[in-house]
Amino acid sequence: MLRAGRPAEESLYPPDDLAETMHLAAYLNDQVVGTVTVFPEPLDGEPAWRLRGMAVDPALQNSGVGSAIMRDMTRRLRDQGVGILWCNARTSALGFYRKQGFEVVGEEFIADANVPHYRAILHL
């Protein structure tokens, strides 16, 4: 669940419609149960891709759906020669990102609907 109880428009980002943007979804019985979006966005002036909008159906969190989406997405980025993937990870999801190999950096900050986050970086 990306933003439970919030309008769907809050989960739309300007880069969503760019040709380079990649949207992946996991399905179960023709129902979307997980999703992730990535797009090119520099990090500290260096070429990188940004992960935004990762969400898994709450009933399937900790079931491997998110990890499967992440594996597929990072494989696709590596195949394209992408070297760095970064995101602003919710503090409550840091365990997930660390398991995927992300390094958590910097101080906690408030973003996206007043939710605590940290910057997380994955070197592909």
Confidence of residue 50 (pLDDT cuts 50, 70, 90): very high
What's the rounded Cα separation, in Å, for the pair 85 and 40? 9
The fold adopted by the segment(s) 8-123 is Aminopeptidase (3.40.630)
Each residue's pLDDT tens digit, 69-87: 999 999 999 999 999 999 9
Q: Which of 12-16, 33-37, 81-85, 111-115 has the lowest mean pLDDT?
A: 12-16
What's the rounded Cα separation, in Å, for the pair 55 and 108? 20
Number of Cβ within a 10 Å radius of residue 98: 13
Each residue's pLDDT tens digit, 32-48: 999 999 999 999 999 99
The upper half-sphere exposure of residue 117, i.e. CA atoms within 13 Å in the direction of its Cβ, equals 14
